[in-house]
């Protein structure tokens, strides 16, 4: 192989995967809904990206709508239509999945993770975690359940 060949091959593979996913989203009806399909929408897609980058922010329906430059009711309806669940439910679920990732991959305590995700207390985070994922943060850290 010539110098740089591996890098070129890797980049070409990345481009092919991205193109395949784009084609699937455009042609497959199931790719039109859910967060993946919503990424195509300029306003909702931008908001999903912001939620994913900053799960710790104190998101409200009002702040999300303002970020999207939409009215609260129009944003709520469009988000639910495109994603398949209300915006604040999506935010809460994403926070729990982020917390799960931090629990499994790091050594932060449950209390530290709760603070990082902007929960008022460890207990509030633990209740929300169990409500969304069906297990306590401690059990999740010990990998006592499969993530779906």
At 33 the pLDDT is 58
Domain boundaries, the chain: 5-85, 91-139
pLDDT at 138 over 80: yes
Bigger pLDDT: 143 vs 114: 114
- HSE, side-chain direction, 13 A CA sphere, residue 5: 3
- Per residue in 45-98, pLDDT (tens digit) is 999 999 999 999 999 999 999 999 999 999 999 999 999 999 999 999 999 999
At 1 the pLDDT is 72
Could you please state the CATH topology (level 3) that the domain comprising 91-139 is classified under. Arc Repressor Mutant, subunit A (1.10.10)
In sequence order, what DSSP letters do the residues of the chain get, joined into one string?
--TTHHHHHHHHHHHHHHHHHHHHHHH-GGGGSHHHHHTTSHHHHHHHHHHHH-TTS---HHHHHHHTTS-HHHHHHHHHHHHSS-HHHHHHHHHHHHHHHHHHHS---HHHHHHHTT-S-HHHHHHHHHHHHSS-HHHHHTT-S---
- HSE, side-chain direction, 13 A CA sphere, residue 118: 11
At 80 the pLDDT is 94
At 39 the pLDDT is 79
pLDDT at 105 over 90: no
At 115 the pLDDT is 96
Task: Choose from 17-21, 44-48, 62-66, 140-144 the range with maximum mean pLDDT.
Answer: 62-66
Spatial contact of 128 and 92, defined as CB atoms under 8 Å apart: yes
């Amino acid at each position: 192989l010539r110098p740089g060949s591996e890098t070129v091959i890797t980049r070409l593979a990345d481009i092919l995967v991205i193109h395949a996913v784009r084609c699937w989203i455009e042609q497959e009806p199931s790719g039109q809904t859910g967060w993946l399909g919503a990424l195509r929408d300029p306003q909702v897609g931008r908001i999903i990206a912001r939620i994913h980058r900053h799960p710790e922010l104190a998101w409200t329906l009002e702040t999300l709508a303002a970020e999207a430059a939409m009215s609260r009711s129009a944003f709520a309806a469009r988000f639910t239509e495109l994603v398949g669940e209300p915006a604040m439910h999506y935010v809460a679920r994403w926070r729990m999945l982020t917390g799960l990732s931090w629990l499994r991959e790091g050594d932060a305590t449950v209390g530290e993770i709760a603070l990082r995700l902007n929960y008022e207390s460890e207990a509030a985070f633990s209740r929300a975690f169990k409500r969304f994922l069906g297990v306590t943060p401690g059990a999740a850290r010990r990998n006592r359940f499969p993530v779906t």
